[in-house]
């Protein structure tokens, strides 16, 4: 039984390699659900527009501040590494809950700690040594006032924490220096250990003086805050447009996936999955008699016939498709082939008329968009149970052959003559009458009408 599932075009020749995605078919499936997906997306966009439009307006104020010490006159005089050392403490303070609470309290705005965290942002500026403080307020004046206060509070709290850190460090260093001094005092003047401890003690004293004399950084605003001329949020139109796009894509993909799993109409997605489920090949022949799928099926069938094997074709409905007509015409041209191409109606009990043990391949014809899921799957299941290699051939629903398709016209002409012959056996050893290639009226049991 065939195990590799083929998806045309772009099928992998190696059964172990997954078939590539047919973007053309996928886009056609998306186009089929475009209208309901668009309606759902418009509804979601309307909800987003209403929700965002009812949110309170927010104004923005941005101020640039310079972090520097007494040894750095301007931010441009510091290199990137030194600037990072200067601005890092303030970036940490900008996310500290206590500092944000101090800013809100000093600015006298009724914001909670969560509001302060969401509305106040401290980030690196475009120049090394600069910080950008952005505030979202209920008005431009409120945002500007909070931005000014943020710079002041960051500077005050930063210097206070720096002094506390220096005091802690100097206290520890003073304790170490005192321990060295006690050792020196315990040694006599002529003790050789005194010569080694004396330089260590002096170095400790120098480090204490250096730490206590180090200048802490300062943060100063370079200009007044720059406020927005209009509310920066919410932007309901932008948010609704983004929601429309996302909802349209997600909804369309979901609808395509759902249509492939539920419903009664045959779709390429469902056909591909069903063929894989029953170990059959799947070929999409909805591109007509000259499409790559039809050429592929025709090549496979003719190869079976030329090798003396028999091919069974199961088709339901009375419509004639150019792809099936081309397959019939190709079979007629192989009059000297040892194999037989037998067409049976899937609407009749075909399993009684066909000797499945003599069939090398069974082609199950399904119409795209037709309510044939149950019957198509039943045919594939029966063929799988009989261990007959199957090929699921998907064609368009209700299509007619092109005007230049002679095979299609010949099939239509032959279909007007009633066929009362008994279906022939697929047994190659069974006696059969000689077929005239010019006569197709009596060949309904061997080649497709």
So what's the pLDDT on residue 326?
Answer: 64
Q: Which CATH number fits domain 23-32+264-415: 3.40.50, 3.30.450, 1.10.1200, 1.20.120?
A: 3.40.50
Helix (H) or strand (E) holding 282: strand 281-284
pLDDT given at position 39: 95
CB 335 within 8 A of CB 306: no
Contact 449, 415 (CB under 8 A): yes
Mind listing the pLDDT tens digit for each residue in 76-104? 444 677 777 788 888 999 999 999 999 99
The reported pLDDT for the residue numbered 320 is 59
pTM: predicted TM-score of the whole model, two decimal places: 0.48
Tell me the β-bridge partners of 343: 313
Question: b/e for 264-299, b at 16 or more Cβ within 10 A?
Answer: eebbbbbbbebbbebbbbbbbbbbbbebebbbbbbe
Burial zone of 188 (CB within 10 Å; 0-12 exposed, 13-18 middle, 19+ buried): exposed
The 3-state DSSP class for residue 12 equals coil
The Cα angle at residue 116 between residues 110 and 117, in degrees rounded to 5: 160
- Report the SS3 class of residue 65: strand
Q: Write down the pLDDT at residue 134.
A: 93
pLDDT at 178: 87
**Superfamily of 59-227 according to CATH:** EIF_2_alpha (3.30.70.1130)
Q: How far apart are CA 13 and CA 429, in angstroms?
A: 34
For the chain, which residues score pLDDT lower than 70? 1-22, 25, 70-79, 213-216, 260, 288-289, 317-338, 398-449
Taking all residues of the chain, what is their mean pLDDT, rounded to a whole number?
77
Domain positions in the chain are: 23-32+264-415, 36-54+235-261, 59-227
Tokens standing for 307? Answer: 């090798």
Task: For residue 158, count CB atoms less than 10 angstroms from its CB and return exposed for 0-12, middle for 13-18, buried for 19 or more.
Answer: buried
């Amino acid at each position: 039984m065939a195990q590799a599932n083929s998806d045309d075009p772009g099928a992998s020749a190696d059964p172990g390699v997954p078939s590539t995605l047919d973007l053309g078919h996928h886009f056609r499936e998306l186009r089929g659900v475009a209208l309901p997906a668009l309606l759902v997306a418009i509804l979601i966009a309307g909800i987003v527009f209403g929700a965002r439009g009812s949110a309170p307006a927010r104004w923005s104020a941005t101020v640039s501040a310079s972090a520097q010490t007494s040894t750095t006159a301007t931010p441009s005089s510091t290199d990137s590494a030194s600037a990072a050392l200067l601005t890092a403490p303030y970036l940490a303070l900008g996310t500290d809950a206590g500092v944000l609470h101090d800013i809100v309290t000093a600015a006298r705005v009724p914001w909670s700690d969560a509001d302060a965290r969401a509305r106040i942002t401290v980030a690196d500026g475009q120049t090394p040594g600069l910080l950008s403080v952005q505030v979202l307020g209920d008005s431009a004046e409120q945002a500007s006032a909070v931005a000014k206060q943020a710079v002041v509070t960051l500077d005050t709290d930063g210097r206070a924490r720096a002094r506390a850190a220096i005091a802690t460090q100097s206290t520890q260093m003073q304790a170490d220096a005192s321990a060295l001094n006690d050792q020196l005092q315990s040694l006599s003047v002529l003790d050789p250990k005194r010569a080694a401890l004396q330089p260590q003690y002096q170095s400790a004293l120098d480090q204490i003086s250096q730490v206590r004399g180090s200048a802490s950084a300062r943060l100063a605003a370079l200009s007044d805050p720059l406020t927005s001329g209009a509310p920066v949020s919410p932007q309901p139109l932008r948010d609704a447009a983004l929601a429309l796009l996302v909802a349209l894509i997600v909804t369309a993909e979901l609808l395509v996936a759902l249509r492939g799993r539920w419903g009664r109409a045959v779709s390429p997605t469902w056909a591909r999955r069903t063929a894989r489920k029953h170990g059959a090949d799947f070929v999409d022949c909805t591109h007509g008699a000259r499409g790559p799928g039809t050429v592929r099926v025709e090549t496979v069938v003719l190869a079976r016939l030329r090798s003396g094997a028999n091919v069974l074709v199961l088709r339901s409905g009375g419509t004639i498709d150019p792809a099936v007509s081309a397959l019939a015409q190709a079979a007629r041209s192989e009059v000297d082939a040892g194999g037989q191409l037998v067409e049976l109606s899937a609407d009749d009990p075909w399993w009684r008329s066909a000797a499945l043990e003599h069939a090398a391949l069974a082609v199950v014809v399904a119409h795209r968009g037709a309510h044939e899921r149950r019957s198509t799957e039943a045919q594939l299941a029966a063929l799988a149970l009989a261990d007959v290699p199957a090929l699921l051939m998907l064609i368009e629903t209700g299509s007619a052959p092109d005007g230049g398709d002679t095979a299609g016209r010949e099939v239509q002409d032959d279909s007007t003559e009633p066929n009362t012959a008994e279906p022939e056996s697929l047994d190659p050893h069974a006696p059969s009458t000689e077929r005239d290639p010019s006569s197709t009226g009596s060949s309904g049991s061997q080649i497709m009408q």
